[in-house]
Amino acid sequence: MSLPHAIDVDDVAIVGAGAAGLATAIFARQPWRRARAAAGQEDASTAVAGPTVRLFDGARKPGAKILVSGGSRCNVSNVAVSERDFWTSGSHAVIRRVLRALPVPMTIAWFREMGVTLHEEEFGKLFPDSNRARDVLEALLRTATDSGIRLCVDARVLAVRRSPDGLFVLETNRGDHRARKVVLATGGRALPRSGSDGGGYELAAALGHRIVPTTPALVPLLLDGRFHTRLSGVSQVVDLAVWVGGRLAIRVSGPLLWTHFGISGPAALNASRHIERARLEQRQVRVTVGFLPGLTFERADARLTSCGTDRPKLSTAAALAQWLPGSVADALLEAAELPSTLPLARLTRVDRRRLAHALVEWELPVTGSRGYTFAEATAGGVDLSEVDPATLESRRCHGLYLVGELLDVDGRLGGFNFQWAWASGRVAGAALAQERS
Ligand SMILES: Cc1cc2nc3c(=O)[nH]c(=O)nc-3n(C[C@H](O)[C@H](O)[C@H](O)COP(=O)(O)OP(=O)(O)OC[C@H]3O[C@@H](n4cnc5c(N)ncnc54)[C@H](O)[C@@H]3O)c2cc1C
């Protein structure tokens, strides 16, 4: 596909054809696509009306992240989404405003219109009925094409600048291009081989934006020591607590997967951004695991006491194995230097209380994370106060819009990051469409 050399001027140039870029493009052209559909394909007047939209992506095949998402099933959204499912160093009011532009029922209807019906699974997660991420990507690409959007692949945008005539000039590896409005939808740094390598932050910074320092989010964690190594492959539901500066910063509950390098699974991934942010701020951070979710020290101790009374001959290891995987129980008793074969009822009071403490607040020696290569999202990004929440137009650079993961917003696991991509794309796309109607 050849790119024009500073001849054509598009109304809208979108940098990045991931979830947010595709959504922005489709919403920017939606009124005219619908009008054309209503009038019939042969009505050329409606086909050419509306803003011309061109999407640039540095990757040969855009949408890599959609394809790998949700174990190649794409967790498109969640039945219940609110600003409380997201993190930012900016204002949650901005997130709320953006999310309200595309409520979940509207997301479901939008996908249905594109030929993708969704169903609900555990924790409210929404997946395509076909369980194929490829169907989601193909529907978005098909809709983009039907909307008259021009997609330029293998076209990396190297710089964006303003020319004296007020137009934007996009320097790409395939030549320069000019546009009246530009949308940055370049994603964050997670999974850099997908094309989202953080280059977008430089584009935004060069246009006057402050970048809140980034860290990996939704990323597996590395542990020191040997406790985890023999548990590799074991999964259990836990409470994970992150303590920053001696205070409880967050407690997350959910499945935890022990691995050869440390921990993964929803609990670890959801906790990871808080650990990474604390480290970034050079604050002292501790992570503890509660093996009996929801139980305080007092209740754990009471459970051990009553178990000892009810079953006086039951070994400590066997008692613990009632509530947690046997291999974890064995590892815990060994690491805590507590007798495993001794009946629970015969533990000294001190040892029983030490065991109760180990069960509710076992220290995990987290040394770091697996980094952006294994992260599902990026925390930090373009400062939210620098965009108008009604349009996502930059307050620093008129005619520039910022959407998706590039902004300082990261969601928890469960379809929230895609919902942010669709909703922010809807806000910017609708604003761009409005300008032309
Ligand atoms: C393994 C994995 C699984 C995930 N699973 C889920 C899930 O199931 N549900 C969920 O909600 N979220 C999931 N996520 C998160 C979700 O994929 C992202 O939050 C979302 O894709 C962000 O959309 P985006 O459009 O902002 O950025 P991206 O999807 O990262 O797209 C950015 C695009 O911009 C392009 N680009 C970057 N710089 C340039 C440039 N200079 N010039 C041209 N093009 C450029 C890139 O090639 C890329 O195509 C997952 C992420 C990963 C890594």
Query: How many domains does the chain divide into?
Result: 3
Buried residues in 159-196 as b, exposed as e (16+ CB within 10 A):
ebeeeeeebbbbebebebbbbbbbbbbbbbbbbbebbb
**Nearest atom, ligand 1, residue 406 CA:** 26
Q: What CATH number is given to the structural domain containing 324?
A: 1.10.8
Model pLDDT, residue 356: 98
What's the CA dihedral at 154, 160, 166, 167 to 10 degrees? 0
Residues 411 and 318 in one domain: no
Q: Same domain for 387 and 431? A: yes
Q: Are residues 302 and 278 in the same domain?
A: no
Q: Is residue 1 part of a domain?
A: no
The answer on 183 and 113 residing in a single domain is yes
Predicted confidence at residue 435, as pLDDT, reads 84
Which CATH number belongs to the domain containing residue 19 in this structure? 3.50.50.60
Task: Give the nearest ligand 1 atom to 403 CA.
Answer: 26
pTM: 0.95
Residues 93 and 114 in one domain: yes
Pocket of ligand 1 (CB under 6 A): 15-21, 56-59, 62, 65, 68-70, 74-75, 156-157, 185-187, 190-191, 195-196, 199-200, 376-377, 404-406, 415-418, 421
- Write the residue with the smallest CA distance to atom 24 of ligand 1: 187
Pairwise CA distance, residues 305 & 348, whole Å: 11
Atom of ligand 1 nearest to the CA of 16: 34
Query: Would you state the pLDDT for residue 37?
Result: 82
Taking only the tens of pLDDT, the chain with its 437 residues reads: 444 444 579 999 999 999 999 999 999 999 998 888 888 755 555 556 899 999 999 999 999 999 999 999 999 999 999 999 999 999 999 999 999 999 999 999 999 999 999 999 999 999 999 999 999 999 999 999 999 999 999 999 999 999 999 999 999 999 999 999 999 999 999 999 998 999 999 999 999 999 999 999 999 999 999 999 999 999 999 999 999 999 999 999 999 999 999 999 999 999 999 999 999 999 999 999 999 999 999 999 999 999 999 999 999 999 999 999 999 999 999 999 999 999 999 999 999 999 999 999 999 999 999 999 999 999 999 999 999 999 999 999 999 999 999 999 999 999 999 999 999 999 999 999 998 76
339 and 423, same structural domain? no
Residues 177, 238, single domain; the answer is: no
| β-bridge pairing 262-264 and 247-258 | antiparallel
Residues 183, 314 within the same domain: no
The reported pLDDT for the residue numbered 92 is 98
Q: Which residue is closest in CA terms to ligand 1's atom 19?
A: 417
Domain around 113: 9-216+377-436
The pLDDT value recorded for residue 437 is 63
Residue 260 resides in a domain: yes
Classify residue 110: in a domain, yes or no: yes
Structure tokens at 223: 């542990």
Residue 186 Cα to ligand 1 midpoint, Å, equals 8
Pick the residue whose CA is nearest to atom 11 on ligand 1.
Answer: 415
- For ligand 1, pick from 417, 420, 422, 424 the residue to mutate: most ligand atoms within 8 Å of CB: 417
Residue nearest to atom 46 of ligand 1 (CA): 195
Report yes or no on 267 lying in a domain: yes
Q: Where would I find the H helices in 182-264?
A: 199-206
pLDDT at 4 (0 to 100): 44
Residue 46 sits in the same domain as residue 193: yes
Residues 15 and 138 in one domain: yes
Say yes or no: 36 and 145 in one domain. Answer: yes
Residue 3 lies in a domain: no
Are 101 and 209 in the same domain? yes
Task: Name the residue at shortest CA distance from atom 45 of ligand 1.
Answer: 16
